[in-house]
């Protein structure tokens, strides 16, 4: 307890030290250690509410901590503590990415935590696609997924993600279209048949052409801009689909997954633009739909 009192007094201004010492010693005769420490904190807060004046030569280091760990279930747990400025920027970013979806697929029933979780995933995609991302061993940051050719074609089975993770073969088909996840396709004896390369999937020039044609996520009613989108093979490359403009459509991560697991279909219309056919439970006639939210180029016909 004496150490606590001495520690408090070292931070009390000299002109108030005697009275503070008297109050603390008197209170300590009947109070315990925690109560004395609490009183000391209140005294310091009253006498010096702004704390010690920072040294002009001392750099200000923001208080930031982040903990990320993989659980045995395959789920990852994230928690951390950030300074006010970083927290404000993170909140603004997630709020912008967590808006409710208002597209032709129907209402968005996600809870706020679910929308924030999806927004965090989208933020990672934006960071991984940034040309300013630092290199690792001479390459841009990426994750490799190993999957058998049979499972990749059928979408049934499991794939190995990175060093320890797993994902479904159906999910691997999504990332094999256009992603910083590189597919390593294996044969019956686990021999590598095709080790995907980033530029082999969709080249920079082809991506620019997609941006110019689709102007963002092409799914009807989606407002996501090009930088939030991925290239989707209309006929999957594992099934022999070519990587060219007439077999590609620009989709945000959510609608990219939707096209791989739902009754929605997409095709390139005679005028060269993508159009979507809804499942029968939405429209029995399956009338083609387009996204009219993105502004066409000013010189487009």
SS3 percent helix, strand, coil of the chain, rounded to 5, is: 40, 20, 40
* Residue 173 predicted with pLDDT over 80: no
Identify the pLDDT of residue 195.
47
- Which tokens go with 164? 């320890």
pLDDT band at 138 (very low <50, low <70, confident <90, very high): very low
Residue 268 has a pLDDT of: 94
The ranges assigned to domains in the chain are 2-47, 142-201, 202-277
The predicted structure's pLDDT at residue 284: 92
Nearest to residue 219, comparing CAs of 179, 269, 259? 259
**Is the pLDDT confidence value at 266 over 80?**
yes
What is the phi/psi pair of residue 160, to 5°? -90, 125
Q: Which two tokens stand for residue 159?
A: 């794939």
Q: What is the model's pTM?
A: 0.54
Which residue, among 88, 297, 93, has the nearest Cα to 208 in the 3D structure? 297
Q: How confident is the model at residue 249 (pLDDT cuts 50, 70, 90)?
A: very high
Q: Between 185 and 151, where is the model more confident?
A: 151
> What stretches of the chain show up as alpha helix (H) in DSSP?
2-11, 17-28, 33-47, 84-97, 112-128, 149-154, 169-177, 198-201, 204-214, 253-261
Q: 238 — phi, psi (to 5°)?
A: -65, -20
228 and 99 Cβ atoms separated by less than 8 Å: no
Q: Do residues 76 and 70 lie in contact, with contact meaning Cβ atoms separated by under 8 Å?
A: yes
Buried b (16+ CB within 10 A) or exposed e, 60-95: eeeeeeeeeeeeeeeeeeeeeebeeeeeeeeeeebe
Candidates 180, 173, 188; CA nearest to 256 is: 173
Mean pLDDT of 16-29: 77
The helices-and-strands tally (H runs, E runs) of the chain is 10, 13
Neighbours of 208 (CB within 10 A): 11
**Per-residue pLDDT at 145 exceeds 90:** no
Top-level class of domain 202-277: mainly alpha
């Amino acid at each position: 307890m004496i150490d606590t009192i001495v520690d408090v007094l070292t931070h009390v201004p000299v002109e108030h030290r005697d009275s503070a010492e008297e109050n603390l010693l008197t209170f300590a005769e009947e109070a315990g250690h925690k109560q004395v420490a609490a009183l000391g904190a209140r005294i310091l807060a009253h006498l010096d509410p702004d704390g010690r004046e920072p040294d002009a030569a001392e750099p200000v280091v923001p208080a930031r901590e982040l903990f990320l760990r993989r659980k045995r279930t395959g789920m990852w747990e994230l928690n951390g503590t950030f300074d006010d400025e970083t927290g404000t920027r993170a909140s603004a970013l997630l709020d912008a990415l967590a808006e409710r979806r208002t597209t032709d697929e129907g209402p968005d029933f996600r809870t706020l935590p679910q929308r924030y979780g999806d927004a965090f995933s989208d933020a990672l995609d934006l960071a991984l696609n940034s040309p300013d991302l630092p290199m690792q061993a001479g390459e841009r940051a990426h994750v490799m997924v190993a999957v058998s050719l049979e499972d990749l074609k059928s979408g049934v089975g499991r794939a190995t993600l990175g060093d320890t993770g797993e994902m479904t073969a159906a999910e691997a088909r999504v990332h094999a279209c256009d992603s910083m996840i590189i597919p390593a396709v294996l044969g019956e004896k686990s021999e590598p048949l095709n080790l995907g390369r980033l530029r082999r999937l969709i080249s920079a020039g082809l991506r620019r052409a997609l941006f110019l044609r689709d102007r963002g996520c092409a799914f009807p009613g989606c407002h996501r801009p090009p930088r939030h989108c991925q290239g989707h093979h209309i006929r999957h490359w594992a099934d022999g689909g070519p990587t060219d403009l007439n077999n590609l459509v620009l989709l945000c991560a959510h609608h990219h997954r939707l096209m791989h697991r739902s009754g929605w279909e997409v095709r390139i219309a005679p005028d060269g633009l993508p159009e979507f056919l809804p499942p029968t439970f939405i429209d029995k006639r399956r009338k083609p739909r387009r996204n009219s939210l993105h502004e066409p180029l000013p010189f487009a016909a």
